[in-house]
Amino acid sequence: MLKGSKHLRIAGMLEIVIGVLMLLFTWTLVGAGDFSAVLNEGAVSNALMSIVILYGFHIFEILAGIIGIVCANKKSALTLVLGLALFFINLWEFFSYGTDVMQIVMHAITLIVSYYYLHNAYRNFKG
For residue range 85-112, list pLDDT tens digits in order: 999 999 998 888 767 888 888 889 999 9
Contacts within 8 Å (CB) and 24+ apart, 122-125:
122/4, 122/80, 122/83, 123/2, 123/3, 123/4, 123/7, 123/8, 124/2, 124/3, 124/4, 124/5, 124/8, 124/72, 124/74, 124/75, 124/76, 124/79, 125/75, 125/76, 125/77, 125/79, 125/80
Q: Which residue has the higher pLDDT, 31 or 18?
A: 18
Q: Torsions phi, psi of 101, nearest 5?
A: -65, -40
Residues 6+ apart with CB under 8 A from 42: none
Per-residue pLDDT tens for 44-87?
Answer: 777 788 888 889 999 999 999 999 999 988 888 999 999 999 99
* Whole-angstrom Cα Rg for the chain: 17
pTM equals 0.84
pLDDT at 25: 85
Higher pLDDT, 5 or 114: 114
The tens digit of pLDDT for each residue in 32-43 reads 666 665 666 677
State residue 3's pLDDT score.
Answer: 73
Which pLDDT does position 47 carry in this prediction? 75
